[in-house]
Amino acid sequence: MTNGSATEAEPYPIDLTVVIPANDVGTTLSAQLDALAPQQWAGSWEIVVVDNRSTDDTRAIARDYAGRWDHVRVVDAPDRPGLCHARAIGISSARGAAIAICDGDDVVADGWVRAMGDALRDHPVVTGPLEVDWLNPRWLAETRGRPSATEAGTWFGLFPLVSGGNLGLHRSVWNAVGEFDDAYLGAEDAEWSLRLARAGITVHFAPDAVLHYRYRAEPDVLWRQGNRYGLNRPRLRRRIAAAGYPPPSRFAGWRSWAWLVAHLPGLRTKHGRARWSWVAGVRIGHLRGSLRDRTLFL
């Protein structure tokens, strides 16, 4: 890693800033920073950990790494809680001309910084594979299917999706498209991807920018997370229709509702309860969002 310095011709003193929004990730942050901090890349880069009102030892852990690695910094996002806000604070604090984002409860693979940094030299927006077997037991990894290792996903085939936890972008994109929107929390990645598509900005998939993605395993946590993921999707569907895209069927999730009925016997086992809680949480989130926003999408 090389150190950059600001000049009049270079408004940003380094090539890349990795932003880690962090809220109460004290049990996992060390694993992420252990994987990230020692990585090598030909360009200059830094890590910014954004402490967003953590009540555990997240900030102390981040400051410990900042004391041991000169390219690690800690900034605070105390104004309000929220992942979108923490990402925005991290980007506004970044010294890099390009930005990469990952989360404090996942783990980047070897070569992630190099893959992101190299891809961002040629592409305005970059995303990469979410690998789900390394951090999760097999039964849990199989509950949601495995994301593609070779191409970006899409929102019902309408436009490419970026993962907010495995994302690279040029500052010009951030300035043009804007920050992630809290009003779509849980679907904020998809809403931001819609804005990219409408602006004609291409998403590049970098197969070597692998992120090991951590699933939750506790039924109550999965229920709450699923609710959050599903709640704002009806609102997003309405926005997509207003943008001129053909929206998915209002009953696109009927197979998941049928799955819940067919798998009621699975509630007798721990693994079965976890799987059922996730699917049920998402579907109830859809129902709540449909009622709240008066736009049916089940």
At 15-61, the pLDDT tens digits run 999 999 999 999 999 999 999 999 999 999 999 999 999 999 999 99
Query: What pLDDT does 144 receive?
Result: 82
pTM attached to this predicted model:
0.93
Query: What pLDDT does 10 receive?
Result: 54
For residue 130, is pLDDT > 90?
Answer: yes
Query: What pLDDT does 145 receive?
Result: 80
Which structure tokens are listed for 105? 């409860």
pLDDT (average), residues 97-101: 97
Q: How confident is the model at residue 178 (pLDDT cuts 50, 70, 90)?
A: very high
Query: CA 240 → CA 60, 63, 169, 201, 255, distances in Å?
Result: 42, 42, 23, 17, 22
Cα separation, 281 vs 262, in Å, equals 16
Asked whether 193 and 186 are in contact (CB, 8 A), the reply is no
pLDDT (average), residues 120-140: 96
Asked whether 36 and 113 are in contact (CB, 8 A), the reply is yes
Instruction: Please state, rounded to an integer, the average pLDDT across all residues of the chain.
Output: 94
Q: Which residues contact 150 (CB under 8 A, 6 or more apart)?
A: 129, 205, 207
Q: How confident is the model at residue 114 (pLDDT cuts 50, 70, 90)?
A: very high
- Reduce the DSSP state of residue 11 to 3 states and report it: coil
Percent of the chain surpassing pLDDT 90? 92
At 240-286, the pLDDT tens digits run 999 999 999 999 999 999 999 999 999 999 899 999 999 999 999 99
Domain boundaries, the chain: 14-212, 219-293
Residue 31 one-letter amino acid: A
Report DSSP letters for 130-199, one per residue: EE-SSSS-HHHHTTS-PPPSSS--BSTTSSB--BTTEEEEEHHHHHHH----GGGTTSHHHHHHHHHHHH
Overall fold of domain 14-212:
Spore Coat Polysaccharide Biosynthesis Protein SpsA; Chain A (3.90.550)
Cα separation, 162 vs 168, in Å, equals 9
pLDDT (average), residues 118-125: 98
Which structure tokens are listed for 72? 């690690």
Query: What pLDDT does 4 receive?
Result: 35
